[in-house]
Amino acid sequence: MTTSEPSLPRENFLNCDYSIRSWLLTTDHKRIGLLFLVSITLFFVLGSAYAGLIRTELLTPRGDVVSPQNYNKLFTMHGLIMVFFFLIPSIPAVLGNFLIPMMIGARDVAFPRLNLASWYVFSIGGVFTIITAVSGGVDTGWTFYTPYSSIYSNTSVMTMAVGVFITGFSSIFTGLNFIVTIHKMRAQGLTWFRLPLFVWAIYATSIIMVLGTPVIAITLSLVGLERLFHIGIFDPALGGDPLLFQHLFWFYSHPAVYIMILPSMGVVSEIIACFSRNRIFGYKVVAFSSLAIAVVGFLVWGHHMFVSGQSAFAGLIFSFLSFLVAIPSAIKVFNWTATLYKGSISYDTPMLYALGFIGLFTIGGLTGLFLATMGMDVHVHDTYFVIAHFHYIMVGGAIMGFMGGMHFWWPKITGRCYPESWGKLSALVIFIGFNLTFFPQFILGYLGMPRRYHTYPAEFQVLNVMSSAGASILGVGYMLPVFYLFWSLRNGPIASANPWLAKGLEWLTPSPPPTDNFEQTPVVTEEAYAYRPEETASG
């Protein structure tokens, strides 16, 4: 099927047309996924550069690298870029775009042109972000809390808000596309309970994208109305209510956390199953837990506001529901662990990333319980404990999943294998660097170091230096894959259609796939993850 020639003779989605025009006007979901990959990688590099500067400043207690206002801009831009321009689009727009049609045996998504529009809309939002960055940045924090953002900040708040506003439509388009695609375009025999769990996870994510994203757009519009026209909405001096903003903001931004983590959970399910040669333990439970997280996740936003002056009784409801939403996450972790039991486990790079995900997500999830506990939250709210917790979820969880997925499907996407030993090294370096960066921040947080501090008391220095040292290791860890993956595009060994011997429709087609994905539309006759002959027979 494949040859060892450096150039592949067979026509595929990559070599069918090399012109720039063919990329910019493509409606092929696989090419759009790659367009997103390029865009979000650029934003990831930019966001990481901000993080590097933050950690450099925090090497010493005094503010001796950047001015206070520039420091505030650094953490604001870091958060905005990483959340809205990297994490939210990362897995859905790159791997989701590439894989969802292939996993369900379809030629493309339901609305290919809407899919391309999603990338253009994202890019326009991205341009506003770049303009914001070069015109001096924003200093409101990624949370845009009012009345600081609507009245007091004298930075480019509106440019950035417009950027986030526009980018939101990209999420909505992508989510809408996936929902329709998954409902209407599954191959014959591919019932809901035969779907790979990645598809379930992206489906749940898409629901949040479609229902949640309009709220952040409305909220930022209201900030704009108050900022530009002094219409009193959030500032009490104008007759507004500052807590109203927080309710609206977190109504989107808490579910947005699940936009970031659910797709990673889907990736991890695929990887764990493949590399332990086992069906995911409790398939249906894992599938429904994604939906449960998506639904209950909409009802927990007030746990960001326990100390804000929100009604204590509202706080009780939010605390209770936050514990409920923790349960499906715990169930997933237990089921992944149980999948390893009596498996046939190999330690390839994607598996290392997936195991890293489980470990770090477990710590991130468990420390989330501290924050859902109302009394405990009083002490740790707005400290480095919170910073550590959500980085364990978003970096330890979401990005480990993204990296695992990129390695897992890299041969499928590019037709080339990456160097395996370099891959394993990167997973190890990232895991070590990550923990050294963020574990000390739990201790700092309980000690009482507040977040978003340009200068800090001297007694916190040692732990901050550890954190900065970890960040530099983490930086190296992220640079490794950029280099060897790029290198493999030309020099990697040619990949077969199914180098991991994985189950799933995407592995039935050549690597890289032809533009139309499948030469023949597949018919599904077995359950997902039928890695054991016995199960194939029964399915």
Partner 1 sequence: MTNHWLGFPLFPEQASSMAGRMDALYFFLVAVSGFFAILIFVLIAVFIVKYRRRDGHMPVPSGHGHMWLELVWTVVPLALTMVMFFWGAKLFFHIYTIPPGAIDVFVVGKQWMWKFQHPEGQREINELHVPVGRPVKLTMISEDVIHDLFVPAFRVKRDVLPGRYTAMWFEATRPGKYRLYCAQYCGTEHSLMTGWVYAMDPVDYQNWLAGGAATEPMHVAGGKLFQQLGCATCHKADNTGRGPTMVGLYGSRVTLKSGEVMLADEDYIRDCITKPNARPLPNYEPIMPTFKGIISEEGLLQLIAYIKSLAVPAAQTRSETK
The position carrying tokens 């979401």 is: 398
- The amino acid occupying position 501 is L
* Other Cβ atoms closer than 10 A to 155: 19
CB-wise, 447 or 497, nearer to partner 1? 447
Report in angstroms how near the CB of residue 278 gets to partner 1 at its nearest.
6
CB-wise, 453 or 487, nearer to partner 1? 453
Query: Which distant-in-sequence residues (6+ apart) come within 8 Å of 319 by Cβ?
Result: 303, 306, 372, 373, 374
CB-wise, 209 or 388, nearer to partner 1? 388
Report in angstroms how near the CB of residue 287 gets to partner 1 at its nearest.
11
The position carrying tokens 């375009």 is: 185
Does 152 help bind partner 1 (rule: CB under 8 A)?
Answer: yes
The position carrying tokens 């579910």 is: 255
Query: CB under 8 A: which stretch of 107-115, 187-195, 415-423, 460-468 binds partner 1?
Result: 460-468
CB-wise, 220 or 363, nearer to partner 1? 363
Does 381 help bind partner 1 (rule: CB under 8 A)?
Answer: yes
Q: Phi first, then psi: what are they for 416, rounded to 5°?
A: -125, 150
Alpha-helical segments (H) within 394-460: 400-414, 420-447
Does 439 help bind partner 1 (rule: CB under 8 A)?
Answer: no
CB-wise, 218 or 366, nearer to partner 1? 366
Q: What distances in angstroms separate CA 281 from CA 9, 273, 335, 356, one per listed residue?
A: 41, 9, 5, 19
Does 447 help bind partner 1 (rule: CB under 8 A)?
Answer: yes
Find the binder of partner 1 among 23, 111, 370, 422 (CB under 8 A). Answer: 370
Kindly tell me the burial class for residue 378, based on how many C-beta atoms sit within 10 Å of its own C-beta (0-12, 13-18, 19 or more).
exposed
- The amino acid occupying position 44 is F
Does 480 help bind partner 1 (rule: CB under 8 A)?
Answer: no
Quote the tokens at residue 200: 């379930």
Report in angstroms how near the CB of residue 241 gets to partner 1 at its nearest.
8
Interface with partner 1 (CB under 8 A), residue total 95
Find the binder of partner 1 among 159, 174, 362, 498 (CB under 8 A). Answer: 362
DSSP bridge pairs for 450? 383
Interface map 153-182 toward partner 1 (x if CB under 8 A): x-----------------------------
Q: Do residues 316 and 372 make contact, with C-beta atoms less than 8 angstroms apart?
A: no
DSSP bridge pairs for 416? 494
Find the binder of partner 1 among 236, 314, 420, 482 (CB under 8 A). Answer: 236
Does 377 help bind partner 1 (rule: CB under 8 A)?
Answer: yes
Residues 46-65 that bind partner 1 (CB under 8 A): 63
Report in angstroms how near the CB of residue 526 gets to partner 1 at its nearest.
13
The position carrying tokens 């790659």 is: 34
Does 420 help bind partner 1 (rule: CB under 8 A)?
Answer: no
CB-wise, 252 or 442, nearer to partner 1? 442
Does 485 help bind partner 1 (rule: CB under 8 A)?
Answer: no
HSE, CB side, 13 Å, CA atoms: give it for residue 302: 17
Find the binder of partner 1 among 2, 12, 41, 373 (CB under 8 A). Answer: 373
CB-wise, 343 or 514, nearer to partner 1? 343
Backbone conformation region of residue 44, classed left if phi is above 0, alpha if psi is from -120 to 50, else beta: alpha
Report in angstroms how near the CB of residue 59 gets to partner 1 at its nearest.
15
Find the binder of partner 1 among 36, 85, 86, 148 (CB under 8 A). Answer: 148
Q: Exposed e or buried b for every residue in 20-57, given b needs 16+ CB within 10 A?
A: eeeeeebebbbbbbbbbbebbeebbebbbebbbbbbbb
Find the binder of partner 1 among 22, 68, 127, 482 (CB under 8 A). Answer: 68
Does 369 help bind partner 1 (rule: CB under 8 A)?
Answer: yes
Does 400 help bind partner 1 (rule: CB under 8 A)?
Answer: no
Query: CA-CA distance, 49 to 532, in Å (whole number)?
Result: 46
HSE, CB side, 13 Å, CA atoms: give it for residue 464: 23
| Cα–chain center distance at 339 | 24
Query: CB under 8 A: which stretch of 2-10, 97-105, 249-257, 443-451 binds partner 1?
Result: 443-451
DSSP 396: I
CB-wise, 209 or 363, nearer to partner 1? 363
Residues 316-355 that bind partner 1 (CB under 8 A): 316, 319-320, 323, 326-327, 330-331, 333-335, 337-338, 340-347, 355
CB-wise, 126 or 328, nearer to partner 1? 328
Report in angstroms how near the CB of residue 70 gets to partner 1 at its nearest.
10
Does 139 help bind partner 1 (rule: CB under 8 A)?
Answer: yes
Report in angstroms how near the CB of residue 13 gets to partner 1 at its nearest.
32
- The amino acid occupying position 124 is I
For residue 498, what is the enclosing H or E element?
Answer: none
DSSP 150: I
Residues 264-303 that bind partner 1 (CB under 8 A): 276-279, 281-285
Alpha-helical segments (H) within 11-111: 20-24, 29-57, 68-80, 88-89, 97-103
